[in-house]
Chain A
Amino acid sequence: MWWGIAFGLLAIAAAVVAWFISGGTAGTQGLGILVVLGILMIVLTVVKVHAGRRYFIVMALVGVVMVAAGLLGIISGAIPEEGGSLITGGFIMAFIGGLWLVRSEDKRIVDERSQKIGSYGTAYSWYITFMAVILFFWLDMLDLLKVQVSTILGGLMFLMIGSALFFQWYYNRQGDVY
């Protein structure tokens, strides 16, 4: 638990230090993302460890508030750049919190089988993503494909999360990892 909280605090501290070192000129969007990531990491760690219903309600509510704050910030023009990070982070929190709330009590229990399937699913998704990185690297090197970096990074992000969820679903149906 303490590792998750420590990394979250580190992300927030890094954002604050970078902002001070730059004399307040560092890219606000990047700093905003770091702060939101830090908050996300701390909240997720606490939720994962305690796994109680009220934590998920709080998590979902915090997510909704973050989305609302981000939208208000963008509309009012107060935080036009950081608003996007707030909305993204808030949406993820509200989604995860909501998902856990509608899950059955049985599915919320973390046991050796769910941990094993979760670990293997993540590991296989890492391999798939690595293969995709190698593929994109060679496609770019050989001038076969010209795509923007942000498009590739976005695709990899979805590939990693999507393939992890797919492998976890698949092995959960199988019963075990063979």
Chain B
Amino acid sequence: METRMKEFRARTNMTQAALAEAVGVRRETIVFLEKGKYNPSLRLAWQVAQTLGTSVDELFIFGEEDE
């Protein structure tokens, strides 16, 4: 899974810690999300997308290998 979280986070001038606090998760969860190493629940994906002012399908890109 690829994400554009870093890009959208930079646009909103948010730090990883600030984003983590806004969605109520650990900072390391945001780190692994940005690396594409953690598959979030739909709820968390939606919360992150909302906080970064975008949509889930714009933020997370699922490849064929993720299916």
Decide yes or no: A106 and B37 within 8 Å by CB, A112-B44, A113-B32, A175-B32 being known contacts: no
> A78-121: contact bitstring with B at CB < 8 Å (1 yes, 0 no)?
00000000000000000000000000001101011110000000
Smallest beta-carbon distance B8→chain A, Å: 20
Partner of A112 from B27, B37, B41 at Cβ < 8 Å: B41
Please give, as numbers and ranges, the residues of chain B lying within 8 Å of A109 by CB-CB distance.
24-26
Asked whether A175 lies within 8 Å of B26 as measured between CB atoms, the reply is no
Q: Answer whether residue B29 sits at the interface, using C-beta atoms and an 8 A cutoff.
A: yes
CB within 8 Å: A-B pair count = 35
Closest to A175 in B: B37
Asked whether B38 lies within 8 Å of A107 as measured between CB atoms, the reply is no
Decide yes or no: A176 and B24 within 8 Å by CB, A112-B40, A112-B44 being known contacts: no
> B25-57: contact bitstring with A at CB < 8 Å (1 yes, 0 no)?
111110010010111110110000000000000
Size of interface on B: residues with Cβ below 8 Å to A: 16
A109 CA to B38 CA, complexed, in Å: 17
Asked whether B32 lies within 8 Å of A176 as measured between CB atoms, the reply is yes
Smallest beta-carbon distance A177→chain B, Å: 10
Smallest beta-carbon distance A34→chain B, Å: 36
Decide yes or no: A106 and B27 within 8 Å by CB, A112-B44, A175-B37, A176-B37 being known contacts: yes
Q: List 29 A-B contacts (CB under 8 A).
A: A106-B20, A106-B27, A106-B28, A107-B26, A109-B24, A109-B25, A109-B26, A111-B24, A111-B25, A111-B26, A111-B29, A112-B25, A112-B29, A112-B40, A112-B41, A112-B44, A113-B29, A113-B32, A113-B38, A114-B26, A114-B29, A172-B28, A174-B37, A175-B35, A175-B37, A175-B38, A176-B32, A176-B38, A176-B39
